[in-house]
Amino acid sequence: MNPLKLMTSLMLLLSVSGMVSAESASNPDKITDLLKSRLGGVAVEAPTETPVEGVYQTRFGTKFAYLTGNGRYVFIGDMIDLESQVNLTELSRRGLAKETLKQIPVKDLVVYPAKDETKTVLSIFTDTSCPYCQKLHEEVPELQKAGIEVRYFPFPRGGNRGPGYDALKQVWCGKDRNQTMDIAKKVKSGDLPGSDCEAASIVDQGYVIGNQVGITGTPALFTESGQKLDGYVPYKQLIPMLLGGS
């Protein structure tokens, strides 16, 4: 389509949605009715206003979507403010991640504190059977020395049938979880405890939370701002990324 015609079509669509949005404004939940009917039993988040008049943001699963005021049209993707160059959807995505990660209290995680002053926190979804998770774990002391606190969340790839599921439970059943994590990731030698304990349930909880924030593999890293970094990042690159206001 000709760019001018495309722009005209988009402007027309937004202007039409703007005319009907006032009708839906008195009952915002109506905006998502058609989307809910098309998605079946999938939960759809209540719509919220965006900076674009007549366009509302909603979420289902890990996807953010934008609905016109009458709920007839939906756009799935990122909304970017071209003037400020801010990705508004990414800001929502980060906010969701920060809130979701709070579902597991810090005391129930495996935490490697920063040495001296804590400058920032790095949350890592990990699987003991993942080679790159093991490689990243070897570099945790470098992160600690740089003032970065590392918090481990369990994420068994493949769920309860995954290769690291039982080992993660053994880690969380340890009296000293840092030690059992070191043993499971082969930076220390020793025996792991049994996997039948109350704390082992955190492994299943971590898997659920990981799926809520869109994790498909490990390691998956989250900065303190909620930004997700997929995959292994060498510490020499990771430290400046984390301490540079990422």
Question: Could you tell me which residues come within 8 angstroms of residue 82 by beta carbon, excluding any fewer than 6 positions away?
Answer: none
What residue ranges define each of the domains in the chain, with the CATH number in brackets?
3-87 (3.10.450.70), 108-243 (3.40.30.10)
pLDDT at 62: 86
95, 226 Cβ separation under 8 angstroms: yes
Distance between CA atoms of 113 and 126, rounded to whole angstroms? 17
Q: How many residues does the chain have?
A: 246
pLDDT at 30: 86
Rounded to two decimals, the pTM is 0.82
pLDDT at 107: 97
Residue with tokens 């939370």: 209
Q: What is the CA radius of gyration of the chain?
A: 22
pLDDT at 27: 66
| Strand duo 148-154 + 120-126: pairing | parallel
3-class secondary-structure state, position 81: strand
Instruction: Return the structure tokens found at 103.
Output: 């579902």
With a cut of 70, list the residues of the chain below it in pLDDT: 1-28, 245-246
Question: Could you tell me which residues come within 8 angstroms of residue 173 by beta carbon, excluding any fewer than 6 positions away?
Answer: 180, 193, 194, 195, 196, 197, 199, 200
Distance between CA atoms of 104 and 185, rounded to whole angstroms? 22
Distance between CA atoms of 75 and 14, rounded to whole angstroms? 12
DSSP-derived secondary structure letter, 133: H
